[in-house]
Amino acid sequence: MRYLPLTPDDRAAMLAAIGVRSIDDLFEDVPAAARLKDTVDLPDHMTELEVERALSKLAGKNVPAGSVPFFVGAGAYRHHIPSTVDHLIQRSEFLTAYTPYQPEISQGTLQTLFEFQTQVAMLTGMGVANASMYDGSTACAEAVLMAARVTRRKKAVLAGSLHPHYAAVARTTAKYQDIEFAASKPDLDGLSGLKELIDGETACVVVQTPDVFGRLHDLGEIAAAAHEKGALLIAVFTEPVAFGLVKNPGEMGADIAVGEGQSIGVGLNFGGPYVGLFACKDDRAFIRNMPGRLAGETVDADGRRGYVLTLSTREQHIRREKATSNICTNSGLCALAFTIHMTLLGEAGLTRLARLNHEAACALQDRLAGVPGVKPATGAFFNEFTLRLPKPAAGVVDALAARGVLGGVPASRLYPGAGLDDLLIVAATETNTEADMAAFETALREVLR
């Protein structure tokens, strides 16, 4: 056997050395009733060529985002990524780099993390940003844990319009930290009923903008309500391109800003890997309790500029329940892709990209709102909006897909049983052409006829 190099004599010698007669004797502690009496019912093994053919056949069932008119968002967005990004991140010094615990041999990696942090801080309007978050949802969960440490409180209030996957990850991660969760109703009103849930025991209020339905919110009022009770405001986002046009979390009074950076430099990739963004106010207590890694700039013994991991040791993340984070690796390659794409855009380029996204979404909503029975259900939005349809959105999405259009995400998929069956969440970016939009409109008219 190619991957089983031991001979029967080898195995007999090993069994004799440990004093048992057969391999079955090694499992005598497992009750007989729990042991399989026959072989597992699995297909016979295949040759390498057969495996390649089988997997290619499975892959052929996928519909890549770029192959059809694509309007799916809800937390992951299709944007154009310059070929320069992929070319640079595949250089061996980046592609195979290890975690930078030894600064004397990791200056390139540390500098890229430092530049990444600088860009994230500027993008979010916060004082300090870190590196190493897995994705937006885990960054959100880590922010809740950080707020509990900073405030020494055990209650988190979640907006009903927070992406439900983010809320679920936060609840799961905090399950054994004894953190209590309260949430407003998931509906298009966004922040309704949220302030009433904030009390003197609240550690943080978690609000998303643009929210899961695409709505934009000015968080100033909810930030004031949270601060009045001594709680922190955590601003969540899934579409960082929005901050090329709209107020960023820092301008709205957020204490912590977290979200997904996939839109900038990272392709959809059938679901990952992505890169989480995490930033907070420049406050000593915040920085000391911030999860992940923090790359800082310094000078060496000869006065030359250099970079180090600062204010956070490796041991800080392996202290079990006393650790500030359970993230023990990083998303360095995706962070580098983000940094390269952001550098290529520059401030003016990001603003132009954001404007193109908003214009595309406005044009698409105008088109689809003209379809009989379709009504816009979102107020102010960036590049994603919600439509109210005259029939269940899940069936409409399937019918659109059969016509070669991936037309969005039914709200019922995110909130099953919440009475949102007629809502369809639609995203448009700079990658959507007039022809794409026309195809969507035509297909939607046919489906709703």
Q: 73 with 114, same domain?
A: no
DSSP for 303-335, written as a single string:
S-EEEEE-S--GGGGSSGGG-S----S--HHHH
Q: 298 with 399, same domain?
A: no
Q: Which amino acid is at 319?
A: R
Total number of domains constituting the chain: 2
Q: Compute the mean pLDDT over every residue in the chain, rounded to the nearest whole number.
A: 93
Q: Given pLDDT bands bounded at 50, 70 and 90, which one contains residue 97?
A: confident
Q: Residue 237: enclosing H or E segment and its boundaries?
A: strand 232-237
Tokens 């004799």 identify what position? Answer: 16
Least confident of 1-5, 211-215, 373-377, 421-425: 1-5
Q: In this predicted structure, what is the pLDDT of residue 2? A: 62
Q: 266 with 381, same domain?
A: no
pLDDT digits (tens, 9 = 90+) for 189-243: 878 899 999 999 999 999 999 999 999 999 999 999 999 999 999 999 999 999 9
* Residue 215, in any domain of the structure: yes
Q: How many CB atoms lie within 10 A of CB 99?
A: 15
- For the segment 391-404, the average pLDDT, to the nearest whole number, is 97
pLDDT digits (tens, 9 = 90+) for 70-82: 999 999 999 999 9
Q: 298 with 259, same domain?
A: yes
| Segment of 172-186, 287-301, 376-390 carrying the highest mean pLDDT | 376-390
Q: 309 with 429, same domain?
A: no
Q: Residue 299: enclosing H or E segment and its boundaries?
A: strand 295-299
- At which of 294, 312, 341 does a domain end? 341
* Residue 417, in any domain of the structure: yes
* Residue 6, in any domain of the structure: no
Alpha-carbon distance of 57 to 319, in angstroms, equals 46
Q: At what angle do helices 107-124 and 332-369 cross, to 10 degrees?
A: 30
Kindly report the CATH number assigned to the domain that includes residue 395: 3.90.1150.10
Alpha-carbon distance of 24 to 307, in angstroms, equals 55
- For the segment 101-109, the average pLDDT, to the nearest whole number, is 86
Alpha-carbon distance of 376 to 387, in angstroms, equals 5
> What angle is formed at CA 307 by the lines to CA 305 and CA 311, rounded to 5 degrees?
130
* Cβ 310 vs Cβ 294: under 8 Å: yes
Q: 128 with 269, same domain?
A: yes
Burial of 95 (0-12, 13-18, 19+ CB in 10 A): exposed
Phi, psi of 239 (to 5 degrees): -125, 90
Is 0.85 surpassed by the pTM of this model?
yes
* Residue 50, in any domain of the structure: no
Cβ neighbours of residue 58 under 8 Å, at least 6 residues apart? Answer: none
Q: Given pLDDT bands bounded at 50, 70 and 90, which one contains residue 316?
A: low
Q: 236 with 219, same domain?
A: yes
- At which of 325, 341, 357 does a domain end? 341
Q: Given pLDDT bands bounded at 50, 70 and 90, which one contains residue 93?
A: confident
Question: Where in the sequence is the domain holding 109, given as residue range(s)?
Answer: 83-341
Q: 383 with 412, same domain?
A: yes
Q: In this predicted structure, what is the pLDDT of residue 317? A: 63
**Better-predicted residue by pLDDT, 63 or 101:** 63
Cβ neighbours of residue 76 under 8 Å, at least 6 residues apart? Answer: 238, 260, 262, 268, 271, 274
Q: 218 with 358, same domain?
A: no
Q: In this predicted structure, what is the pLDDT of residue 293? A: 87
**Secondary structure of residue 264 in the 3-state scheme:** coil
Kindly report the CATH number assigned to the domain that includes residue 317: 3.40.640.10
Q: In this predicted structure, what is the pLDDT of residue 266? A: 97
Alpha-carbon distance of 204 to 227, in angstroms, equals 9
Cβ neighbours of residue 143 under 8 Å, at least 6 residues apart? Answer: 204, 206, 234, 256, 258, 278
Q: 163 with 185, same domain?
A: yes
Q: 380 with 322, same domain?
A: no
Q: In this predicted structure, what is the pLDDT of residue 102? A: 81
* Residue 34, in any domain of the structure: no
Task: Answer whether residue 42 shows pLDDT above 70.
Answer: yes
* Residue 20, in any domain of the structure: no
- At which of 299, 318, 341 does a domain end? 341
Task: Answer whether residue 322 shows pLDDT above 80.
Answer: no
Least confident of 53-62, 101-110, 145-154: 101-110
Q: Which amino acid is at 255?
A: D
* Residue 418, in any domain of the structure: yes
pLDDT digits (tens, 9 = 90+) for 283-313: 999 998 999 889 999 999 999 999 998 887 6
Cβ neighbours of residue 7 under 8 Å, at least 6 residues apart? Answer: none
Burial of 374 (0-12, 13-18, 19+ CB in 10 A): buried
pLDDT digits (tens, 9 = 90+) for 407-428: 999 999 999 999 999 999 999 9
Q: 194 with 109, same domain?
A: yes
